């Protein structure tokens, strides 16, 4: 069972979302909040796997809450669900650790699909937003060489491991990485296992997202 915290300041919308989510027998809304501050309070009292949260709310908005939640509970997934098709909102949410950005024009199937994708370590972005956001994410300037050296210390990665992270972020397969770095596929897999452990990530999808967010590609 997946425990969900639903954060939305309009009660009728919150009730509708709860009904939609719980039509999937694997999902359960165990806590609710009307703003980001209440979200944090609920997280202090409930074991939550996923937060589904609006952006524009009183007291504390969803963007500020996303940043605070990921700082305190980095393992918790966050899906932003909003009426605002704004790429700046999306960029900030993803940068601060959200795993998805979905518009409220989405239907039940899109919502449930996004939830399961995020829970598996993927990233889910509404297609109307993705058309504007993904080019910006994928063409962020590469970090300067001196910053990359700082990054190896910050994440405890070796130069070889950092090279592999960058290549994963570029979408290279294990075989392609092995060829480019003159390694065996088995060695690449071993490196990836170590990298995921060091960064606290689950799979190469999360690693690719990490590489993009950190400006390594």
Please state the domain count of the chain: 2
Q: Are residues 87 and 190 in the same domain?
A: no
pLDDT at 134: 60
Whether residues 119 and 149 share a domain: the answer is no
If we measure between CA atoms, which residue out of 53, 89, 87 comes closest to residue 70?
Answer: 53
Q: Considering 89, 115, 138, which residue would you say is the last residue of a domain?
A: 138
Domain match, 209 and 160 both: yes
Q: What is the pLDDT of residues 115-167, one digit of tens each?
A: 998 888 777 777 666 656 665 665 554 444 445 555 556 678 888 998 999 88
16 and 99 assigned to the same domain? yes
Q: Are residues 42 and 128 in the same domain?
A: yes
Both structure tokens of 89: 């909102």
Residue 77: phi and psi, rounded to 5, are: -85, 150
% of the chain with per-residue pLDDT over 90: 49
Do residues 94 and 133 make contact, with C-beta atoms less than 8 angstroms apart? yes
91/168 same-domain check: no
Of 89, 113, 138, the one marking the end of a domain is: 138
- Residue 168: pLDDT band (50, 70, 90) is confident
Q: Are residues 23 and 99 in the same domain?
A: yes
Residues near 71 by beta carbon (within 8 Å), at least 6 away in sequence: none
- Within this chain, do residues 107 and 21 fall inside the same structural domain, yes or no? yes
Q: What is the dihedral of CA 86, 91, 97, 103, to 10 degrees?
A: 20
Averaged pLDDT for residues 99-115: 90
CB neighbour list of residue 34: distance below 8 Å, 6 or more residues apart: 7, 8, 9, 11, 57, 58
Average pLDDT for 187-212: 84
Query: Half-sphere exposure of 69 toward its Cβ, with a 13 Å CA cutoff?
Result: 36
Same domain, 125 and 160: no
d(CA 66, CA 74): 10
**199 band by pLDDT with thresholds 50, 70 and 90:** confident
121 lies in the same domain as 189: no
- Same domain membership, residue 152 and residue 82: no
Determine contact, residues 81/57, Cβ cutoff 8 Å. Answer: no
Looking up residue 79, the CATH number of its domain turns out to be 3.40.50.2300
Among the candidates 101, 117, 138, a domain finishes at 138
Give the pLDDT confidence of 55-91 residue by residue, as tens digits.
999 999 999 999 999 999 989 999 999 887 777 788 8
pLDDT in tens, 5-47: 999 999 999 999 999 999 999 999 999 999 999 999 999 999 9
Statement: the pTM of the whole predicted model exceeds 0.85: no
Strand 50-53 to 77-82 pairing: parallel
The answer to whether 33 and 42 have CB atoms below 8 angstroms apart is yes
Q: Give yes or no: residues 26 and 56 share one domain.
A: yes
Nearest to 143, CA basis, from 162, 158, 161, 157: 162
CATH of the domain at 200: 1.10.10.10
From CA 37, how far away is CA 44, in angstroms rounded? Answer: 11
3-state secondary structure of 209: helix
Q: Which domain holds residue 165?
A: 145-213
């Amino acid at each position: 069972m997946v425990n969900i915290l639903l954060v939305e300041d309009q009660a009728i919308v919150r009730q509708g979302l709860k009904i939609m989510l719980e039509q999937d027998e694997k999902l359960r809304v165990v806590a609710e909040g009307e703003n980001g501050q209440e979200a944090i309070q609920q997280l202090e009292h409930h074991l939550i796997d996923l937060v589904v949260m609006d952006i524009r709310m009183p007291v504390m908005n969803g963007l500020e809450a996303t940043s605070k939640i990921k700082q305190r509970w980095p393992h918790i997934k966050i899906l932003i669900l909003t009426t605002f098709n704004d790429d700046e909102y999306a960029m900030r949410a993803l940068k601060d650790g959200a795993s998805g950005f979905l518009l409220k024009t989405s239907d039940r199937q899109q919502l449930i699909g996004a939830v399961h994708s995020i829970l598996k370590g993927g990233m889910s972005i509404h297609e109307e937003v993705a058309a504007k956001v993904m080019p910006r994410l994928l063409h962020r300037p590469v970090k300067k060489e001196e910053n990359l050296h700082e990054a190896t210390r910050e994440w405890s990665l070796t130069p070889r491991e950092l090279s592999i992270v960058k290549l994963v972020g570029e979408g290279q397969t294990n075989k392609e990485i092995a060829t480019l770095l003159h390694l065996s596929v088995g060695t690449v897999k071993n490196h990836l296992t170590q990298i995921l452990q060091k960064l606290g990530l689950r799979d190469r999808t999360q690693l690719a997202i990490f590489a993009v967010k950190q400006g390594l590609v």
